[in-house]
Structure 1
Amino acid sequence: MSQSSLGGVFPVLPTIFDDHGEIDRDGMRSVVDYVVASGADGLVFPGLASEYDLLTLDEREDLIGLIGDAVAGRVRFVVGASSDQVGDSARLAAAGAAAGASAAMVMTPRALGPDVDALSRFYQDLGAQAGLPIMLQNAPTPMGLGLAADAVARIVAASDAVRWVKEENMPCGQRISALLASDVPHLTGVFGGAGGRYITDELARGAIGSMPAAETPEVHVALMRAHLAGDRAEVWRLYEALLPILMIQAVYRWRLTKEVLRRRSVIASAYTRAAGPEFDETDQLELGTVLDRLQDAYAAR
């Protein structure tokens, strides 16, 4: 399959830990198998949904190899290679290339700030070293720089190694439209992100895919298939069924993803290294109701 055919549903895998915060390698393999079995077109690791900023560089490099082995060519693999340092990003991209990745996703380095010229040089230098085509990730602050669409287009235009953009700065849909209208010759396509919360708008505007979190990949796959078939009513039926869990995910982030995977017996522990709100007893009951209703909606398709 050619690089230009990258598209569809690419869930971002969480990093699985045991109850003591150590990496659960068997849990990582289980999540890979779960996402592949969902019918996803590919997967991403490590990204923001992977708590990548709480992994050491050595941990990231080691897990990239593990993911590549677990994927074993069954779906496409986009390696997360974000860093403020070109050398570290190139090291992670090279690990991805060795693990069979098709592309390296790299967020705009916060250390450089919104300096388009400096950012352009970063991606030019990375493109010369990475060994993979690059996907520029434009995330909102404080995780990313939240660049305007014209700034992203200028950075992409400066390096033909940058072939895709993952756009998740609000309003995502409008920014996707602006990027596609920029007519950068080597920009192959734009993915949506932001957990998949705006997927209907993104796809309607020409996004080639979505990179949601990994708690409900089978529903995102069904939604994408309905979109490609031109079944707008089914797209909206599935999207409306997803909305309650997407709203919970917006608050609890990694904990929601891992708790769903734990409930589905994919992983043993929902431990996160990242700080953030935790579920109380009422939240747990509400999540159970939401998951039951979502399963009923998905099964009724």
Structure 2
Amino acid sequence: MTALSSLTGVFPVLPTPFDAHGNPDTASLRKLVDYLLRCGVDGLTYPGVASEVGQLTVDERQALVDLVLAEVAGRVPVIAGVSSSDAATTIRLAVAATERGAAALMVAVPPDRKNAAEQIVYFKEVAKAAGGAVLMLQNVPPPVGAGLDPEVLIEVLQAVPSIRYVKEETLPSGQRLSVLRAKAPANLLGVFGGAGGRYITDELRRGAAGTMPAIELAEVHTALFKAHREGDADRVRALFTRMLPVLNVQAVFRWSLTKYVLKKRGLIAETRQRMPGPLLDEMDKADVDAFLLDIDDLLLAQDQLP
């Protein structure tokens, strides 16, 4: 385990590219890792909801996490998503990712455990099996997760010292983040935002350690966080405002939007997705094309892409 004293910054969640037959496209996944490193991200996350993780087999997940870690080769920290509805599967994935050098293990709160006591039993079991690895509790809203209130999260944090980070995705994320930072025990090193980066300005004002968006605007998220670190609030707002049209489309179309943009830029071979959900039609694509043209100066040029 690459245990870092602090994880902070932009940790985009890699999607899972699929080929024309619906199998994981490892060549495109490697290219996406290269792209994110060229964007100057602080780290990578894989797999998560943006990776269609619920549609991957356990063997696929383990093999693809291995691929990502090997491709990154220690250049930036990798947060490995090991969540499962089955505790034994979570533990299997956690142990494997720990052995291969993940910086932290992201574990979603199980939706079937409704109170602090049940969540504590679960996270203690995972922490013990992972041998003291750094855990990130992902507070996903229902129906995917339990969407725990801050007071419940604080109880879990106090009982499980291995949880050093929280990814807060239950809304309003900014207000919840403020409560966590004010009341959490010392083992909590930071709170990350998610939700595609749609609430990043509020989260950063409230002291978020970082953000974990989908990857289609990685260059812009990286530039925005750089401006935040430099104390340039005006540029943070300006970059956020320019991203908003694409983020709005992403909120509805999720994987379809991400994969359309990545294929358009030559970073993946196919837009195929396993996860059910709305697909962009031709008018939607025309809108996205126009929005991307509006921010073309913020994106890596074609000759800078892998």
Tell me the TM-score normalized by structure 1: 0.96
Q: Secondary structure at the match of 1:186?
A: coil
Structure 2 partner of 1:201? 202
Structure 2 partner of 1:29? 30
Q: Secondary structure at the match of 2:216?
A: coil
Which string of whole-angstrom CA distances, capped at 9 and with x for unpartnered residues, describes residues 139-197 of structure 1? 11122111111111111111001110000100000000000011312111100001100
| RMSD between superposed Cα atoms in Å | 1.3
- From the superposition, tell whether residues 119 and 183 of structure 1 become closer, same or farther in structure 2 (CA, over 3 Å): closer
Please say if 1:212 is aligned against 2:213. Answer: yes
Structure 2 partner of 1:235? 236
Deviation at 1:297, TM superposition (A): 5.4
Distance in 2 (CA, whole Å) between partners of 1:44 and 1:293 is 28
Q: Secondary structure at the match of 1:137?
A: strand
Distance in 1 (CA, whole Å) between partners of 2:116 and 2:140 is 15
Q: Secondary structure at the match of 1:278?
A: coil
Please say if 1:174 is aligned against 2:170. Answer: no
Segments of 5+ residues of structure 2 without an aligned counterpart are 301-306
Structure 1 partner of 2:304? none
Q: Secondary structure at the match of 1:63?
A: helix
Please say if 1:49 is aligned against 2:40. Answer: no
Query: 2:119, 2:156 within 8 Å by CA — same for their partners in 1?
Result: yes
Structure 2 partner of 1:116? 116
Which string of whole-angstrom CA distances, capped at 9 and with x for unpartnered residues, describes residues 77-99 of structure 1? 00001012322112111221233
**Number of aligned residue pairs:** 298
1:43-122 correspondence runs (5 A) = 43-112=44-113, 114-122=114-122
Query: 1:135, 1:164 within 8 Å by CA — same for their partners in 2?
Result: yes
1:216-227 correspondence runs (5 A) = 216-227=217-228
Query: 2:3, 2:103 within 8 Å by CA — same for their partners in 1?
Result: no
- From the superposition, tell whether residues 157 and 215 of structure 1 become closer, same or farther in structure 2 (CA, over 3 Å): same
Give % identity: 46
- From the superposition, tell whether residues 59 and 297 of structure 1 become closer, same or farther in structure 2 (CA, over 3 Å): closer
Letter of the 2:268 counterpart: I
Q: Secondary structure at the match of 2:295?
A: helix
Query: 1:156, 1:184 within 8 Å by CA — same for their partners in 2?
Result: yes
Q: After TM superposition, what 4+ stretches of structure 1 lie above 3 angstroms from structure 2? A: 296-299
Distance in 2 (CA, whole Å) between partners of 1:7 and 1:66 is 23
Segments of 5+ residues of structure 1 without an aligned counterpart are none
Deviation at 1:110, TM superposition (A): 1.7
Deviation at 1:74, TM superposition (A): 1.2
Structure 1 partner of 2:280? 279
